């Protein structure tokens, strides 16, 4: 996955604002934005599954999950 590799390289460069982790067995990259929100980067084939996991968790903790362009 070239795009995920590119995001990982950006993560290494921007370290304090970026982290790699695993969510439900899915490798993800989290980028902390200046407004307190996050960009979540996952492989394209797992994007829908990851989105459903995040929506479910958001309901439990009463937080918003939204798509940004």
> How high is the pLDDT of residue 29?
87
The conformation of residue 45, written as its DSSP 8-state character, comes to G
Q: Return the percent helix, strand and coil in the chain, to nearest 5.
A: 50, 25, 30
Q: What is the pLDDT of residues 56-69, one digit of tens each?
A: 999 988 888 888 76
| Selected residue with higher pLDDT from 10 and 43 | 43
pLDDT band at 10 (very low <50, low <70, confident <90, very high): low
Give the separation between CA 61 and CA 1, rounded to whole angstroms: 32
């Amino acid at each position: 996955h070239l795009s995920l590799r590119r995001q990982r390289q950006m993560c290494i460069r921007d370290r304090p604002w970026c982290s790699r982790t695993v969510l439900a067995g899915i490798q993800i990259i989290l980028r902390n934005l200046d407004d307190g929100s996050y960009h979540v980067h996952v492989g394209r084939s797992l994007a829908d599954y990851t989105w459903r996991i995040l929506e479910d968790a958001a309901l439990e903790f009463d937080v918003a999950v939204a798509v940004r362009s």
